[in-house]
């Protein structure tokens, strides 16, 4: 019998009875009499059991607002030398019948291949406004030459794509109709983990299918700009673009993605929060595109060890790994190695918060930004630029010229030999100072340092040359991990060296 500690006394007795029955042994009747009676459910728990949600009213309320979306795309029509109908040729191929020798048609000048519409896919959507604006996923209508929207009353409309945004996977299409049943948009901030939610869509083309579950998590970072809502609502191909609905009958998200190893539902689904979707849809309806802000930095997460070693306390903010030349960040004075902790007065809890906050800022806006640099907070002003498509940052390689490497006793203890940077190297790397790693072994090698790295700071002290490097190293507490700000190519990050004891 299992010794699992949380099993009830009654279940243990029943297990003994079952074991006895299986072996032919008999138990006295007193064994049953001694079993404690099951405890009564608390009234609140009993009410919760009796009060499981009934979704029928929600389906009647929101169902008419959900639409089925079919798309097609133009493809080149297939031709054949015999001039025979393509369906007839397929008949001969499928049943193994030899294709008859037909008289060849006179050759004509080659004409451009005609295009024909072919079915592309099926998805879902929902009516955003009474005058025919419909919201769905961008991937549902991507590449479509024709979009057909079918309402629950079986009316079909050819839709016009107003705009789509791949980054958030939101699209808006328009049908020519009035007085449509529009959805009510809910407040995502009121949505709680564990709350019941419902989805309506067309999984595998099965129109108006209803599934339900709970909110599993919020603020899931699976995309660059979207803090997804995670649920266990059954979502399958065809559900994309359909609404996620709370018990008040309000749409709180757009069902967009699933986590799956098989291609089918596995209990983890993701929805785009409606506050993000509405922000995007408003721009799509106004201008047909989405404009986002940028500041020109590459960022990463701040680990617990790095946060403690640089004096930040808890792991928070966005660690600046690289600053783009000529970008708003460079003009504002942001440097590689800075930790951006606040934007417009709002704290950056996770590094993924920053691109969303900046992206939602109108280009040209002057914004306040706070960075943590070498033990202190600094407030900077930055002018937001506009995200450009297919943006590429140029990578610069450090120059090979260097002065003779040097290794003091303190540096040798860490396994480091460093050299002065030449003026040409500083100019090429666009830095004011630092020292170049000539060799790394021992503790330095274990920390990941290698030849060619540039050290910009040691133990929160900025390095300008060999002299300042030695001075900072001499003051560092050798009994604790020493943090170094390291530049490698265009990237900068913190490295912790743990000296051998």
Name the least confident of 6-20, 95-109, 415-429. 6-20
Task: Name the pLDDT band for 80 (thresholds 50, 70, 90).
Answer: low
Residues facing 496 on adjacent strands: 483
Distance in angstroms (rounded) separating the CA atoms of residues 317 and 377:
12
Say yes or no to pLDDT of 92 above 60.
no
The span from the first CA to the last CA of the chain, in angstroms, equals 51
Is 80 marked within a binding site? no
Q: Is 169 a catalytic residue?
A: yes
Q: If you average pLDDT over each of 26-35, 110-119, 376-385, which comes out highest?
A: 376-385
Say yes or no to pLDDT of 79 above 60.
no
Written as six digits, the tokens of 492 are 């900068």
Look-up: residue for tokens 């008949």?
91
Mean pLDDT, rounded, for 244-253: 95
Share of the chain above pLDDT 70, in %: 74
Check 240, 256, 269, 321 and give the catalytic one. Answer: 240
Task: Name the pLDDT band for 137 (thresholds 50, 70, 90).
Answer: very high
CA atoms within 13 A on the CB side of 366: 5
Domains and CATH numbers, the chain: 1-35 (no CATH), 55-96+115-290 (2.40.10.120), 294-386 (2.30.42.10), 409-497 (2.30.42.10)
Say yes or no to pLDDT of 434 above 90.
no
Is 453 marked within a binding site? no
Share of the chain above pLDDT 90, in %: 38
How confident is the model over 14-64, as pLDDT tens digits?
Answer: 333 333 333 333 333 333 334 444 454 455 444 444 567 889 999 999 999
Is 169 marked within a binding site? yes
464 and 433 in contact (C-beta within 8 Å)? Answer: yes
Name the least confident of 147-151, 315-319, 402-406. 402-406
Mean pLDDT, rounded, for 134-157: 92
Cβ contacts of residue 235 below 8 Å, gap of 6+?
199, 201, 203, 211, 255, 258, 265, 269
Mean pLDDT, rounded, for 288-303: 89
Written as six digits, the tokens of 11 are 């279940």
Say yes or no to pLDDT of 501 above 70.
no
Is 238 marked within a binding site? yes
How confident is the model over 305-364, as pLDDT tens digits?
Answer: 888 888 888 899 999 988 888 899 999 999 988 999 999 999 998 888 898 899 889 999
Distance in angstroms (rounded) separating the CA atoms of residues 37 and 175:
63
Check 124, 164, 165, 169 and give the catalytic one. Answer: 169
What 8-state DSSP symbol labels residue 205? G
Task: Name the pLDDT band for 8 (thresholds 50, 70, 90).
Answer: very low
| DSSP-derived 3-state class of residue 73 | strand
Mean pLDDT, the chain, rounded, equals 78
Task: Name the pLDDT band for 222 (thresholds 50, 70, 90).
Answer: low
According to the model, what pLDDT value does residue 402 have?
A: 41
Is 327 marked within a binding site? no
Check 11, 72, 139, 305 and give the catalytic one. Answer: 139
According to the model, what pLDDT value does residue 7 have?
A: 35
Burial of 144 (0-12, 13-18, 19+ CB in 10 A): buried
According to the model, what pLDDT value does residue 16 have?
A: 37
């Amino acid at each position: 019998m299992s010794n699992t500690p949380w099993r009830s006394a009654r279940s243990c007795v029943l297990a003994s009875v079952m074991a006895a029955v299986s072996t032919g042994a008999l138990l006295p009747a007193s064994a049953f009499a001694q079993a404690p009676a099951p405890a009564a459910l608390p009234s609140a728990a009993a009410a919760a059991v009796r009060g499981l949600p009934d979704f029928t009213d929600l389906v009647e309320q929101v169902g008419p607002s959900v639409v089925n979306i079919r798309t097609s795309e133009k493809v080149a029509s297939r031709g054949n030398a015999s001039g025979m109908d393509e369906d007839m040729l397929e008949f001969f191929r499928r049943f193994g019948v030899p294709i008859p020798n037909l008289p060849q048609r006179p050759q004509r000048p080659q004409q451009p291949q005609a295009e024909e519409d072919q079915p592309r896919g099926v998805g879902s959507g929902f009516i955003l406004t009474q005058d025919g604006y419909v919201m769905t996923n961008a991937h549902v209508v991507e590449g479509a030459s024709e979009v057909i929207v079918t309402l629950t009353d079986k009316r079909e409309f050819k839709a016009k794509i107003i705009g789509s945004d791949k980054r958030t996977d939101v699209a808006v299409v328009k049908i020519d109709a009035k007085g449509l049943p529009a959805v009510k948009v809910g407040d995502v901030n009121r949505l709680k983990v564990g709350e019941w939610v419902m989805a309506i869509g067309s999984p595998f083309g099965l129109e108006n299918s209803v599934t339900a579950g709970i909110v599993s998590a919020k603020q899931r970072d699976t995309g660059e700009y979207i803090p997804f809502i995670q649920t266990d609502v059954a979502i399958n191909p065809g559900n994309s673009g359909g609404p996620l609905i709370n018990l008040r009958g309000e749409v709180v998200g757009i069902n967009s993605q699933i986590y799956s190893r098989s291609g089918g539902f596995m209990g983890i689904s993701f929805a785009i929060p409606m506050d993000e979707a509405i922000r995007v849809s408003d721009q799509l309806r106004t201008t047909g595109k989405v404009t986002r802000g940028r500041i020109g930095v590459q960022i990463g997460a701040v680990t617990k060890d790095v946060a403690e070693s640089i004096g930040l306390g808890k792991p928070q903010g966005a660690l600046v790994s690289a600053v783009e030349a000529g970008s708003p960040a460079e003009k504002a004075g942001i440097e590689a190695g800075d930790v951006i902790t606040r934007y417009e007065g709002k704290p950056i809890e996770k590094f993924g918060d920053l691109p969303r906050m900046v992206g939602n800022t109108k280009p040209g806006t002057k914004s306040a930004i706070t960075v943590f640099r070498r033990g202190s907070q600094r407030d900077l002003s930055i002018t937001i630029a506009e995200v450009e498509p297919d943006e590429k940052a140029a990578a610069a390689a450090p120059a090979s010229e260097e002065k003779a490497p040097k290794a003091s006793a303190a540096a040798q203890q860490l396994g480091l030999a460093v050299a002065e940077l030449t003026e040409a190297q500083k100019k090429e790397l666009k830095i004011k100072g630092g020292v170049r790693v000539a060799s790394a072994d021992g503790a330095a090698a274990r920390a990941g340092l290698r030849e060619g790295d540039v050290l910009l700071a040691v133990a929160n002290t900025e390095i300008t040359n060999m002299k300042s490097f030695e001075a900072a190293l001499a003051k560092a507490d050798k009994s604790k991990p020493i943090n170094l700000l390291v530049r490698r190519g265009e990237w900068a990050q913190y490295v912790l060296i743990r000296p051998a004891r």
